[in-house]
Each structure stands twice: as structure tokens, then as C-alpha cells.
């Protein structure tokens, strides 16, 4: 009998990428939130662009390049030491408050859960470990293994290959619409974790199989 696999995106879904704001506030004060959002947007843009160019580099390099760009674009004049501290903070970002309990529910129900990320295995392992989440996952699957980025169809195919799962039994869980659309395009099921009530979904004509506001709600649907 086939077993359902839940593949959880990490950055923005399990881990709050805006958890870096506290460190930013020390240097930038009230400009911290705007800087954080611009940094995150540029980080993803760089991964998309590198994917299209066939110029892969680890996600941490995209993050650093995006930090450099945002500093220049906003004229914030961060020192190299401040940038190094921000990058270090990115390695110990906090989990969203609903995550641990939801993962515990899935684990108790015997659901196969994997972390599925643009980040390298080492980075994701460290991030989940410091957040107290690592033990809830059967494995970590990184795009670094095939040197592609989401939403390249090859990434979702790699997930299935690693898990030896059928498309109909494989679920992508993500707060990022581009990731949800990519998984659906590749034939997987997908749940969108709409962490902001103001967040729109892309008007591409397709919808997630499930939309929830947090992972606790998801555990009631799929646990």
C-alpha cells in the first residue's frame, strides 16, 4: 500500500525569514521591516534568475548577494561586520509558533514528513536542529543535490525519486505560491499555507489542493 509523503518547504513555511528583523533593527531602526522584505524578495529573484541561466550557486550565496544588493539599493551603508552578523542570524531563524505542535501531530499519526528546500542539506539541518524541529523529519531533500532551484520541474521529480513515491501520494506544503504552482505543474498535490491574510495567490488559473492559515489547520486536514 502506498504511503503519503508530505514535503515541507522550509524558508517562509516552517521558518520565519523575517525573524532577522530584530538584528536589522539594531542597525536600521524603523527601516528594518522594509529592508527584510526587499532582501527576501531579491533572494528569491536571484535563485529564479540563476535557475534560468543555468548558473547554479548555493542558496546561501543568493542570500548574500541579495543582502549586498538591498544594502546598495536602500543606501543603508551596512558594514561588512554587520552583513556577516545578518548572515549568521539567517542560520538561526525562528520557527513559526504553530510548527512544532503540527509536526508532532503528523509524527504521531505516522505520516512521512521530509524537509524539502532550496537551502543546502547542511544549512537546513542546522536551521531545523536549532529550532528543535529536526527529529520530526524522516529526511532532508535539498535542490543542491541536483543543482537546480524551485520551481524547476526537475526538483519535484527529484523529490519523488528520493522518496520513491508516486505523484498522487506526494504533497508539497509551502507558503510560497511559486512553489505550490511548481509542484502542481509537476503533478504533485500541494497545500498553500497562507500565513498572511493579505497574501494573494498568483492568477494562473490553477489553485492549491488545500489552503490553510497555518500548519495546525493542515494537520486537521491531512494528519
Judge contact between 171 and 222, C-beta under 8 A.
Answer: yes
> Distance between CA atoms of 130 and 145, rounded to whole angstroms?
23
* H/E run at residue 172: strand 170-174
In three-state secondary structure terms, 65 is helix
Q: Is 9 an annotated catalytic residue?
A: yes
Q: How many helices (H) and strands (E) does the chain have?
A: 9, 6
Burial of 144 (0-12, 13-18, 19+ CB in 10 A): buried
Distance of CA 215 to the CA centre of its chain: 14
Which residue in the list 9, 16, 144, 179 is annotated as catalytic? 9
Q: Which residue has the cell 529536526?
A: 134
Point out the residues that are catalytic: 9
Amino acid at each position: 500500500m502506498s504511503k503519503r509523503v508530505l514535503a515541507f518547504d522550509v524558508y517562509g513555511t516552517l521558518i520565519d525569514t523575517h525573524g532577522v528583523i530584530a538584528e536589522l533593527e539594531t542597525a536600521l531602526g524603523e527601516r528594518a521591516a522594509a529592508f527584510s522584505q526587499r532582501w527576501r524578495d531579491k533572494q528569491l529573484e536571484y535563485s529564479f534568475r540563476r535557475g534560468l541561466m543555468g548558473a547554479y550557486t548555493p542558496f546561501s550565496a543568493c542570500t548574500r548577494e541579495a543582502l549586498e544588493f538591498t544594502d546598495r539599493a536602500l543606501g543603508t551603508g551596512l558594514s561588512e561586520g554587520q552583513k556577516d552578523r545578518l548572515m549568521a542570524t539567517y542560520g538561526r531563524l525562528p520557527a513559526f509558533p504553530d510548527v512544532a505542535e503540527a509536526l508532532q501531530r503528523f509524527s504521531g499519526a505516522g505520516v512521512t514528513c521530509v524537509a524539502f528546500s532550496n537551502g543546502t542539506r547542511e544549512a537546513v539541518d542546522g536551521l531545523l536542529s536549532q529550532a528543535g524541529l529536526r527529529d520530526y523529519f524522516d529526511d532532508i531533500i535539498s535542490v543542491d543535490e541536483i543543482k537546480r532551484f524551485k520551481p524547476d520541474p526537475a526538483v519535484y521529480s527529484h523529490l519523488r525519486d528520493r522518496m520513491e513515491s508516486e505523484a498522487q501520494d506526494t504533497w508539497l506544503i509551502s507558503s510560497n505560491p511559486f512553489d505550490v504552482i511548481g509542484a502542481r505543474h509537476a503533478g504533485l498535490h500541494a497545500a498553500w499555507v497562507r500565513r498572511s491574510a493579505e497574501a494573494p495567490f498568483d492568477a494562473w488559473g490553477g489553485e492549491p489542493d488545500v489552503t490553510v492559515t497555518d500548519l495546525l489547520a493542515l494537520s486537521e486536514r491531512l494528519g
